[in-house]
Amino acid sequence: MGVKLAVTAGFCFGVERAVNKVYDEIDNTKPVYTYGPIIHNEEVISDLASKGVGIINSKEEIDNLSEGTIIIRSHGVSKEIYDIIEKKGLRLVDATCPYVKKIHKVVQRESENGRHIIIVGNKSHPEVEGIKGWCSKSYTVIKDIDEAKNLEFDSDTKLCLVSQTTYNNNKFQELVEIISKKGYNCIIMNTICKATDERQAEVRKLARESDAMIVIGGKHSSNTQKLYEISKEECENTYYIQTLKDLDLDKLQSYCNVGITAGASTPNNIIKEVHTACQKRVLNKCWRNH
């Protein structure tokens, strides 16, 4: 009985690297901007804003700058954004996750080789927006089984299939099976990052063993949303929170086995605060009952 914290909870390599780059730049240069929020976590963004870090959300906003450093966030951006920053003569710090960078290189190469690129993911997610911007020719974005079933190309069309790094691995395999059966000349690249795969596998196992699950992360975090979906499949009593204030601790009094995980953009101090509060509530309740 008790509270178990997932080993994989919290910042992944790519996110930690990106956040550290921003804090390093705060000490070295002014002004500092990130292209889009550096990560999908409101607490981190608020702290960076208090230290003077601005957010650029469009190429038009870059055009209005005359000086400063722009940090490319972990999700990556299109080739066009790099070109605009360079043309403006602004300083660029690239914090794109290496796993995302790998996808950019793949789609650029295969697109130039004449393949139509299929991107598995959420078309409005910034990572997918960035990947699209490295396709020199045609591409299609699909997000689910129905869209995979509806894919139709000329028989001689060459394809290359990649995935958003945070996509659900089990669902990706289902889509691969559907597309493979269509008989196209298709290169399959499973570009879901290893950390995402491990995190999803762990939350599935932990949820099966728990009476209740708490998933911590920003409301706009794609990888946290995936963790919540997976956990909910295995444990009906799954709660999605951003910080401790979002959690109704009284609900935990009904459970003795509580699991906790967190998305790749969730700072350690938030995880620790939730973990400590849950331990006090759950353990006290369980000891009183024994």
| Low-confidence residues in the chain, pLDDT < 50 | 287-288, 290
Tell me, what's the pLDDT at 101? 96
Which of the residues are catalytic? Answer: 127
Question: Domains of the chain: which residue ranges?
Answer: 2-10+195-288, 13-96, 99-192
One CATH from 3.30.43.10, 1.10.3720.10, 3.40.1010.20, 3.40.190.10 for 2-10+195-288: 3.40.1010.20
Tell me, what's the pLDDT at 83? 95
Tell me, what's the pLDDT at 290? 45
Q: What is the SS3 assignment for 211-280?
A: CEEEEECCCCCHHHHHHHHHHHHHCCCEEEECCHHHCCHHHHHHCCEEEEEECCCCCHHHHHHHHHHHHH
User: CB atoms < 10 A from the CB of 28, how many?
Assistant: 9
Q: How far is CA 167 from the centre of its chain?
A: 8
Tell me, what's the pLDDT at 287? 47
> What's the predicted TM-score (pTM) here?
0.85
Tell me, what's the pLDDT at 33? 97
pLDDT in tens, 178-201: 999 999 999 999 999 988 889 999
**Fold agreement between 2-10+195-288 and 13-96:** no
13-96 carries CATH number 3.40.50.11270: yes
Rounded-to-integer distance, Cα 149 and Cα 116, Å: 17
99-192 carries CATH number 3.40.50.300: no
Tell me, what's the pLDDT at 58? 93
Q: First and final CA of the chain: distance in angstroms?
A: 11
Tell me, what's the pLDDT at 283? 60
Q: How far is CA 32 from the centre of its chain?
A: 23
Tell me, what's the pLDDT at 285? 55
